[in-house]
Structure 1
Amino acid sequence: MFKEPLSRAMHVARWVALAFLIGVLSGLLSAAFIEALNWATDTREGNNWLVFTLPLAGLLVGCSYHYLGRGLERGSNLIIDQIHSRSEWIPLRLTPLIFGASVVSHVAGGSTGREGAALQLAAGVTDPISKRLGLNPADRSLMLIAAIAGGFGSVFGVPVAGAVFALEVQRVGRVRYEALVPAFVASFVGDAVVRGLGVSHTHYPVMPKVAWSVSMAWKVALFGVIGGLIAMLFVHLTHFIKDTLKKYVAWYPARPVIGGVLLTILILSFGWRDYSGLSIPLALEAMNGSVAGQWGSKLLLTSITIGSGFVGGEFIPLFVIGALAGASYAHTIGANVVVFAIIGSITVLAGATNTPLACTIIGIELFGGQGLTFFALACAAAYATSGHTGIYHAQPVSAHKSGIAN
């Protein structure tokens, strides 16, 4: 009578324990990573000459991956691929490799992020544990999903969205509910570890209260479509740069060197220093009413940075691009700049990552629940119009966005 319930309870307890471990490791790594990137940002902003080291930084990053981590340059796509194909183990060396290469990219001034790197930091310590425990392929997949949740939730300070992102990002059109418990445990524990260590996250303004109306709904939906197209532009430009360099530059380390040269020229020629690194202050300025930021500049620099082989991730840059695009859109149509900058920050993300549910929840956790309706509408519109290929090209398509089952 009690055998089956007891067996289920033991199964859940096992996953809670494993996810707790992943959460602790993810939180420790994210805390160290946040502090390292804060140092990198302060160092770069205090030493303007570091922009001239971008080609050298590119050489260091390129050589590191070429000689120490060949195949690991796939980054977060490697994790998603292994959730499904399970064809190779993710080595422990991925963790120090992505940590060091990301810091180098930020110090020199590459326009890159941190969430993608955090996922890899967590996966790099999680997969060796799965290998040591001799977990079967299905359980190994759940461990990697928990690693994504722990890394994302802890580095961004959004535990609910971190869990949902992990369940949603691994496949377009399907959510992995069997990973619900480990994903939520890992994300919440990881976030608690970061906060417990006293590492602070960026504080964002609260979404202003806006009355629902047909007119406002149309404006938000239209921007959602625009956000999806911006996401598509970013993805295609980044892939174009990556494919072009791969075609014409055989030696991998030379690609980020070329990217570093291009970035240095653009940053110095147009005075785009503020668009280096994470550029979170640009997003905050837009969320406080500024329309001075240029989303196209951040998009171009980020596409060159990621496309040429620098590492760190695209998530925060896309967050900034969306905020700047939202501010520009609001200024153009005479709407509230603050409202659309906030909505924009998650809209472009939803389109680029194919995770509208997670991005809607990010909006709630960062800006407050009063914007829920608008967040959901914009993210849904961006998701529907951004195409099936996002920044994570390893995502299998389970259901077409048109509603046709795959």
Structure 2
Amino acid sequence: MKKVVEKSYLLLISLGIGCLVGATDSLFGQVLLAVSNFREQHYIELLPFLSIAGCLIIFLYKKWGSGTEKGMGLVFEVGNTPKQKVPKRLLPLVMVSTWITHLFGGSAGREGVAVQIGASLAGMLQRGLKFSSQKRLFLMVGMAAGFSGLFQTPIAASFFAVEVLVIGKVEYKVLPYAVVAAYSASTTSSWLGLEKFTFPLKQELTFTPEVFLKLFIAGSLFGLVGWGFAWLLKKTKKIASLKLSNPYCRVVLLGLVLSLLFLFFQPDRYAGLGTNLIAASFSGAKIMTYDWISKLLLTVLTLAAGFQGGEVTPLFAIGTTLGVVLAQVLGLPVLAIAACGYICVFSAATKTLFAPIFIGAEVFGYTHLVYFVPMVVIAYGFSGKQSIYNGQKLVCEERQEAER
């Protein structure tokens, strides 16, 4: 009876976490959209100040963000280290610094920020309610709420939270609480006016040996690109920190390089989230053969320089535009393969399996699971061990630590 009461209490708390995180996600997301719209209208005037904006971000973290610089890496440390916790100051810092990054044209995402928002708020509640033995559960519940509140894909968000901390392990016991938090966060943010991206996909794929072979080729390439993004991001960050050890010098020099590169390309095409590329892919607008690699490289450089933001929305843009190119080369339906790219590159770069499948279902329609599932499995299989999240552990590593 005691366990039933405790579980019911945790479900109720998960509902509250979802509502709180959903409201915060809505604020963050709507301000981010307003900032992005303002940048689009004043792109040329704002872009030269990207390096100065980067210096402001570094100053904020130096002044008030000690211990929070790792961002998503800190969230993984908290999930896998018993004594670690998410500092309260992470919440305002990551939101403000991401708004600054997007205002001045940095190429970055928002998912990592939303997950950090959820983890931070859930951690505050966990400590306030003195659930010291449930820190990991609260963290995953917060992650699910953060992801779902921003993207409004509650099933995908729930599985993302329970499978992302340790590669190859799914925390099924946390799933009921994650689902409650994810649905309440999604409902709250939607009720508060944050819109969800959906594209009811009408194209179908007919399976034949030839089509399956082409899908296998596309899936393997999606997996390799996701792996390449994760590997290049890690290497570039390492090289940048070694060659430019002073963070102010690093963000100024790389910020200047980014400003020149952004000006070289079509104005505002590769700045910000990349939702413009996603919209172009699914509306039939012109997609360049180099759009995916340009977005990939500029996102890596932005994050390596020290600007803040996530990786997932740029990964969606990279996968979608790559899908358009591959579909044209392989003679496959463009929109269907663009949708596969949307979820497959994300799967490969994050080392998650169930979350991207359900993202595909919740964004494009459940009827397409028949080819979303094998495509994600193929991409996941070709993605190696590299991930965009440095704090991720392999299940074998977790077992070894438990045995010590």
Q: TM-score, normalised by structure 1?
A: 0.94
Of 79, 96, 103 in structure 2, the residue corresponding to residue 100 of structure 1 is 96
Unmatched 5+ residue regions in structure 1? 1-5, 401-405
1:297 is aligned with what amino acid? S
Aligned residue for 2:400?
Answer: none
Moved over 4 A (4+): none
Give the share of equivalent positions with the same residue, in percent.
31
Of 213, 216, 221 in structure 1, the residue corresponding to residue 216 of structure 2 is 221
- CA distance change for structure 1 residues 307 and 272 in 2, over 3 Å: closer, same or farther? farther
Give yes or no for contact 1:322–1:348 (8 Å, CA) kept in 2.
Answer: yes
Give yes or no for contact 1:291–1:324 (8 Å, CA) kept in 2.
Answer: no
Aligned residue for 1:371?
Answer: 368
Shift, 1:207, TM fit = 4.5
Question: Using the alignment, how far apart are the partners of 1:257 and 1:179 within structure 2?
Answer: 43
Shift, 1:170, TM fit = 1.0
When structure 1 is superposed on structure 2, of 391-400 and 317-326 the one drifting more is 391-400
1:397 is aligned with what amino acid? L
Please give the per-residue CA displacement for 1:104-160, whole angstroms capped at 9, x wherever unaligned.
Answer: 0000011111111001112222212222222224x0100000000000011001011
When structure 1 is superposed on structure 2, of 25-34 and 262-271 the one drifting more is 262-271
- SS of 1:110's equivalent in the other structure is coil
RMSD: 1.6
1:50 is aligned with what amino acid? L
1:323 paired with 2:340, answer: no
Give yes or no for contact 1:54–1:108 (8 Å, CA) kept in 2.
Answer: yes
Aligned residue for 1:398?
Answer: 395
Please give the per-residue CA displacement for 1:16-45, whole angstroms capped at 9, x wherever unaligned.
Answer: 112112101110111001101111111100
Aligned residue for 1:119?
Answer: 115
Of 323, 332, 336 in structure 2, the residue corresponding to residue 335 of structure 1 is 332
1:72 paired with 2:99, answer: no
When structure 1 is superposed on structure 2, of 230-239 and 103-112 the one drifting more is 230-239
Aligned residue for 2:56?
Answer: 60
Q: How does 1:265-280 map to 2 (within 5 A)?
A: 265-271=260-266, 273-280=268-275
Question: Using the alignment, how far apart are the partners of 1:307 and 1:99 within structure 2?
Answer: 18
Aligned residue for 2:357?
Answer: 360
Of 8, 11, 24 in structure 1, the residue corresponding to residue 6 of structure 2 is 11
Of 364, 385, 389 in structure 2, the residue corresponding to residue 388 of structure 1 is 385
Aligned residue for 1:350?
Answer: 347
Question: Using the alignment, how far apart are the partners of 1:205 and 1:302 within structure 2?
Answer: 28
Aligned residue for 1:211?
Answer: 206
Shift, 1:252, TM fit = 2.2
Shift, 1:88, TM fit = 2.2
Q: How many residues align?
A: 395
Please give the per-residue CA displacement for 1:280-318, whole angstroms capped at 9, x wherever unaligned.
Answer: 121122123345241010001100011111111000000
Aligned residue for 1:196?
Answer: 191
- CA distance change for structure 1 residues 8 and 88 in 2, over 3 Å: closer, same or farther? closer
Give yes or no for contact 1:122–1:151 (8 Å, CA) kept in 2.
Answer: yes
- SS of 2:375's equivalent in the other structure is helix
When structure 1 is superposed on structure 2, of 364-373 and 255-264 the one drifting more is 255-264
Of 151, 160, 166 in structure 1, the residue corresponding to residue 155 of structure 2 is 160
Q: How does 1:42-53 map to 2 (within 5 A)?
A: 42-48=37-43, 49-53=45-49
Question: Using the alignment, how far apart are the partners of 2:285 and 2:220 within structure 1?
Answer: 23
When structure 1 is superposed on structure 2, of 15-24 and 183-192 the one drifting more is 15-24
Question: Using the alignment, how far apart are the partners of 1:214 and 1:74 within structure 2?
Answer: 46
When structure 1 is superposed on structure 2, of 208-217 and 93-102 the one drifting more is 208-217
- SS of 2:166's equivalent in the other structure is coil
Of 298, 306, 310 in structure 1, the residue corresponding to residue 307 of structure 2 is 310
Give yes or no for contact 1:286–1:327 (8 Å, CA) kept in 2.
Answer: yes
Aligned residue for 1:172?
Answer: 167
- SS of 1:275's equivalent in the other structure is coil
Question: Using the alignment, how far apart are the partners of 1:214 and 1:66 within structure 2?
Answer: 57
- CA distance change for structure 1 residues 112 and 359 in 2, over 3 Å: closer, same or farther? same
Question: Using the alignment, how far apart are the partners of 2:308 and 2:197 within structure 1?
Answer: 22
Q: How does 1:224-263 map to 2 (within 5 A)?
A: 224-263=219-258
Give yes or no for contact 2:198–2:364 (8 Å, CA) kept in 1.
Answer: no
Question: Using the alignment, how far apart are the partners of 1:295 and 1:276 within structure 2?
Answer: 13
Question: Using the alignment, how far apart are the partners of 2:170 and 2:267 within structure 1?
Answer: 39
Question: Using the alignment, how far apart are the partners of 1:387 and 1:270 within structure 2?
Answer: 32
When structure 1 is superposed on structure 2, of 288-297 and 186-195 the one drifting more is 288-297
Give yes or no for contact 2:144–2:158 (8 Å, CA) kept in 1.
Answer: yes
Question: Using the alignment, how far apart are the partners of 2:22 and 2:155 within structure 1?
Answer: 15
